[in-house]
Amino acid sequence: MAITTKGFAGTVDEYEHARLFALGAHRYAVGSVNDLRVSAVSGQRSVAVAAGAAFSSGVRVDLDALEIRALPAIASGGAWHLVVLRRTWGNPSAQPPTAGTAQLLTLPGPLTTTEAPAAPPTVLPATIASLPGVRDDQPLAWAWVSAGSTSVLLFDMRHLPELAPFRTAAGVRTINTGNTSFNLATPLPAGRFTVPPVVVAQVEGGAVATDNMTLRVAAKTTTSFDLVARNIAAGGIQGLVISWHAVQMTPTTAAG
């Protein structure tokens, strides 16, 4: 597996300059939904980082093949690890000159109980590097492991340049009930959100008069929310069509 960097001193021509700025409008970005995707390796307490392109701070990094990183075993409880792509700038004026480098790392995060968490940490590890031009870590995924298990729970932290929000989802639900009010549990895509998103819902139509309907969103988590509908005319709710849109603007906040 080779990691190629473009953007450090002496590595950029017109072609590479164009490739850099294809991703360059963001603090961190990956080339597509599949680039540098982190997945669990079955039975190994390890993660696999897919090939692809990533950008940050003027440096594009290309991985030409999948790379595997093992996560440390722990004696008790659970533990978080942040998978990052680290860029380290060289010094072309040094004697001899030193070149910039890139590497995949896992940084230790908070310790937990053995109960599988519903959401990742909202604070990055204290050891993360964030000094562009010297050393900088691009978050790729939070990985959680527990004592006595090789399973790895993952939360994606990559940013796609074509999407302004960090994460988004949308859907349509239909309610059919003879009751005056109804709570409809609505799932969100597994692993999509790292914090409970902002959810907006509206009535699209149905057999009941939509002017008689009230609608709100309740019980939001990273994996689901409730649509709470009520017919103020005291009739049933038949064929009520509701559309919804969920959004998370940054890796750690729903609004932004």
pLDDT per residue rounded down to tens, the chain (256 residues): 677 776 676 666 645 655 555 555 577 889 888 899 999 999 999 999 999 999 888 888 999 999 999 999 999 999 999 999 999 988 877 788 788 899 999 999 999 999 989 889 989 999 999 888 889 999 999 999 999 999 999 999 998 765 567 788 999 988 887 777 888 899 998 888 888 999 999 888 766 656 777 889 999 999 999 999 888 877 777 778 889 999 988 777 888 7
Q: How far apart are alpha carbons 188 and 191 in whole angstroms?
A: 9
Which pTM was predicted? 0.62
Contact of 27 with 59, CB cutoff 8 Å? no
Domain covering 3-156 assigned CATH 1.10.10 in the classification: no
Residues of the chain with CATH 2.60.520: 3-156
Residue corresponding to tokens 């590890």:
125
Residues of the chain with CATH 2.60.40.2080: 167-248
The pLDDT of residue 32: 83
The pLDDT of residue 9: 66
- Residue 170: closest CA among 96, 248, 101: 248
The pLDDT of residue 209: 57
Residue 34 has a CB neighbour count (10 Å cut-off) of 10
167-248: CATH topology = Immunoglobulin-like (2.60.40)
Q: How far apart are alpha carbons 133 and 90 in whole angstroms?
A: 9
The pLDDT of residue 147: 94
Contact of 143 with 153, CB cutoff 8 Å? yes
